[in-house]
Amino acid sequence: MSVEWSGVSPELIVDLDRDQPTPLKCQLERALRQAVQSGRLTVGERLPSSRELAGTLGISRGIVQDCYAQLQAEGYLTTRVGSATRVAATAQVPPTQPKPVTPQLDIDFASGVPDLASFPRTDWAWAMREACRRAPNTALDYGDPRGDAHLREVLAAYLRRVRGAAADPERMVICSGFSQGLALTLKVLAANGITQIAFEDPGYGDTGAAACALSGATLVPVPIDEDGIDVDALDRTAARAVVLTPAHQWPTGVVLAPHRRQALVEWANRKDAYIIEDDYDAEFRYDREPVGVLQGLAPDRVAAIGTVSKSLVPAVRLGWIVCPPNLADHVAELKKSSDHGSPGLDQLTLATMIESGRFDRHLRRMRQIYAQRRNVLVDALRPFDVELTGLAAGFHAVAHIAADERAVIEKARVRGVGLYGMSVQRSDRATTPSQLVLGFGNLGERAIRTGMAKVGDLFKTAR
């Protein structure tokens, strides 16, 4: 499929060598033939007008017209009166490798994806216009690598109010999502000699391994149970940093118990260690009181990373790191050397969204939507007698099934339903106990019912 360039005549780079004995017309013909044959110019793509191309190349318009006419005669180009010159459908283009055929998914229970259709486009557009209208010219420069000062003030106040964080704007760094926030933090720790990084198991799967590889660190899996991460097991490792999701463990959904929180802070103080807290979907809670961030208990030991990927959409590539005091400047310097800071206009827009109350209003609305979808999922699985856990917050659940995890996933795909196993989040990729991680954030209620009706019988199939 060719790109349709709108507006003025599209530009085209063509090299002509006036020192060669070959006439310019022949050089131009050869260059355009090669562009079509190599796929640089695709079928249906519009070429510049003869006047525009002649002006760009510094040659006469007649040379270009003669060239176009010759290539049209050869079948490379086509033209109609009143229309642009385009690459002909009969032009020879390089063969492409056929893409592997995969079953079409009609319903996809992928986790970690919020309701993309519910992104508050009108509010975001309003906030963008308002931010552009009010922003001084200085706000359009590179700015502070830690991020816009006003956004950091707004976020700090928000996190203190909603998440119980000990948030100081001077110790916050705005980043482009959790992955960058984690990478920056791990690299700073590695520079300080901390290269053994513990991760919850099950937990981050390949994501954790990739983050460690980028920072030169070694991943150390630590098991979790119904109370969260096993701090005693953590203490037996050589790790001096741990990455975890205490408010709603990914992917099991358990909450870090109070006694484990205290034990974890004691471990960090005793080992001169650090805790990296992923506060990824705690805004969406249903059957429990809010659970504050661990960072509020030990701000000198915890780097809390949050984003708007779940509260808004992943396309808004903004997050933040609430850094321990002795790491904040190092993280900011590394951020500066990485990309000179996250997109400034988006930062101003997010600050305006939060200040206006539209962000809180969106979260309240989405809590109701996700809670209803959660209830629909529970009802849809009731006839199949499937145990669901991890439902107190977020928009995914864990289904404990009697059938083989991988077999269920393969059979479900044949039926057009995407299912995902817990095994890919385990360090040893074990398929027992057999569990599925069911995301319902980006599915409507009808799709949830239909999807479970299609595959629910698979959950009880004998191994």
* Length reported for the chain: 463
Please state the rounded mean pLDDT for residues 357-373. Answer: 95
Q: How many Å apart are CA 316 and CA 327, to the nearest integer?
A: 26
Please tell me the predicted confidence (pLDDT) of residue 463.
Answer: 41
- Strands in 274-278's sheet, in edge-to-edge order, are 172-175, 319-322, 302-307, 274-278, 241-244, 196-201, 218-225, 228-229
Please tell me the predicted confidence (pLDDT) of residue 209.
Answer: 85
Q: Per residue in 79-110, pLDDT tens? A: 877 678 889 988 766 666 666 666 689 999 99
Strands 228-229 and 218-225: antiparallel
Helix, strand, coil shares of the chain, percent, nearest 5, are 45, 15, 40
> What is the pTM for the complete model shown?
0.85
CATH fold group of domain 120-356: Aspartate Aminotransferase; domain 2 (3.40.640)
Q: Residues 6 or more apart from 138 whose CB is under 8 A from it?
A: none
Please tell me the predicted confidence (pLDDT) of residue 127.
Answer: 98
Smallest CA-to-CA distance from 410 within 41, 199, 137, 103 is with 103
Contact 430, 202 (CB under 8 A): no
Largest CA distance in the chain: 84
Measured at the CA of 111, the angle between CA 108 and CA 113, to 5 degrees, comes to 90
Please state the rounded mean pLDDT for residues 382-410. Answer: 93
Smallest CA-to-CA distance from 452 within 287, 435, 443 is with 443
Domain boundaries in the chain? 1-96, 107-112+361-460, 120-356
Contact 216, 193 (CB under 8 A): no
Q: How many Å apart are CA 140 and CA 129, to the nearest integer?
A: 14
Q: How many Å apart are CA 185 and CA 211, to the nearest integer?
A: 10
User: Residue 296 is encoded by which pair of tokens?
Assistant: 């509020």
Buried b (16+ CB within 10 A) or exposed e, 359-397: beebeeebeebbbebbebbeebbeebebebebbbbbbbb
pLDDT band at 44 (very low <50, low <70, confident <90, very high): confident
Superfamily of domain 107-112+361-460, CATH level 4 = Aspartate Aminotransferase, domain 1 (3.90.1150.10)
CATH code given to domain 1-96:
1.10.10.10
- Lowest-pLDDT range, 76-80, 259-263, 297-301, 355-359? 76-80
Please state the rounded mean pLDDT for residues 314-320. Answer: 96
Same fold, 1-96 and 120-356: no
- Indicate if the alpha-carbon torsion angle 195, 196, 198, 202 is positive or negative: positive
Beta-bridge partners for 223: 201
Helix (H, G, I), strand (E, B) or coil at 333: helix
